[in-house]
Structure formats: structure tokens, C-alpha cells
Amino acid sequence: MIGLPHYLILSALLFSLGLYGVLTRRNAIGVLMAVELMFNSVNINLMAFSHYMMDTAGLAFCIFVITVAAAEVTVGVALVLSVYRNRNLIDLDQVAELKG
């Protein structure tokens, strides 16, 4: 029998994989992909609670998260393209002008 904890553990594992990707990828597009994994794990979490609490709040939040993720990726890819065009680099470690 599948219960709420099964979905929560799947979501925790997916979140940890995304965290690992964010920390180890050097490429800006790779980091954005890993951030999308983390968004998806949060959505699974929200939807699992929504299903087992029998409430539509989680579903509504899920759609909000998907919308904000779409906006985030649009601006993120535009920033990456802008940095690439002006400085011809994509490696996040080299984009460090603002470092104190």
C-alpha cells in the first residue's frame, strides 16, 4: 500500500539529487537543469499532501510553482545568453566580478 511517506521520500531523494547537481555543475545551463529537478521534487511534495489531505490548495500551489519556474527559466536563459555574448564564457566560476 502506497502512502504519503512514499511520495515524500521520493521527493526528498529527487531534491537531494538536484542539490548535488547545483553544487557540482560548473555550467550555468547545467545548474538551471538541476534547479528544475528541485522544483519538481517540491511539486511532488505539494501534490502528495494535496491528495492525502483531500484539499485543492496543493494543486493550486503546484500550478503557481510551475508558472514561476517558467518565468525563472526564461530570465535565467536570457542572462546566460547575455553573459555568453558579452564575455564569451559559460562557466559560473569565471563570472565573479562582483565577488568581494
Asked whether position 95 contacts another protein by CB under 8 A, the answer is no
User: Between 63 and 100, whose beta carbon lies closer to another protein?
Assistant: 63
3-state class of 97 per DSSP?
coil
One symbol per residue from 61 to 90: x for binding another protein (CB under 8 A), - otherwise; what is it? Answer: -xxx-xxxxxxxxxx-xxxxxx-xxx---x
Q: Site for another protein (CB under 8 A): how many residues? A: 71
Per-residue b/e over 1-33, b at no fewer than 16 CB within 10 Å? eeeeeebbeebeebbeebeebbeeeeebeebbe
Query: Smallest distance from the beta carbon of 10 to another protein, in angstroms?
Result: 5
x/- letters, 4..43, toward another protein (CB under 8 A) = xxxxxxx-xxxxxxxxxx-xxxxx-xx-xxx-xx--x--x
Which set of grid coordinates corresponds to residue 7?
511520495
Contact 81, 28 (CB under 8 A): no
Closest CB to another protein among residues 75, 100: 75
Q: 81: which 3 cell numbers?
A: 545568453
Instruction: Give the shortest CB-76-to-another protein separation in angstroms.
Output: 8
Closer to another protein by CB, 54 or 96: give it: 54
Among 85, 98, 79, residue whose Cα is nearest residue 28: 79
